[in-house]
Structure 1
Amino acid sequence: MDVRRKLGENVRLLRLQANLTQQEVADRIGVDRAHVSALEAGTRNPTILSLWHISLALGVKITDLLQDFPSQSGDSALAKKRASKRRGPRARKEESAG
Structure 2
Amino acid sequence: MESRGLVAWNLRKFRLAKRLSQEKLALEAGIARTYVSRLERGVENPTVVMLDRLAKALSVKSVDFLAPKVTGGSCRRRYLRAVSRHPGAGEPIDTEA
The reply on whether 1:34 has 2:24 as its aligned counterpart is no
Residue identity matched to 1:49? V
Deviations along 1:50-74, one digit per CA (max 9) or x if unpaired, are: 00000001011112111017xxxxx
Please say which structure displays the higher CA radius of gyration. 1
Runs of 4 or more off by more than 2 Å in structure 1?
none
Answering whether residue 71 of structure 2 is matched by residue 68 of structure 1, we say: no
User: Which structure has the highest helix share of the two?
Assistant: 1
Cα pair 1:7 1:40 within 8 Å, conserved: yes
Task: Kindly state the Cα deviation for residue 2 of structure 1 after the two structures are TM-superposed.
Answer: 2.6
Alignment partners' CA distance in 1, 2:53 and 2:32: 14
Aligned residues: 69
SS of alignment partner, residue 36 of structure 2: helix
What CA RMSD, in Å, does the superposition of the two structures yield over aligned residues? 1.2
Q: TM-score, normalised by structure 2?
A: 0.67
Deviations 1:8-60 (A, max 9, x none): 01000000001111001100111111100000001111110000000001011
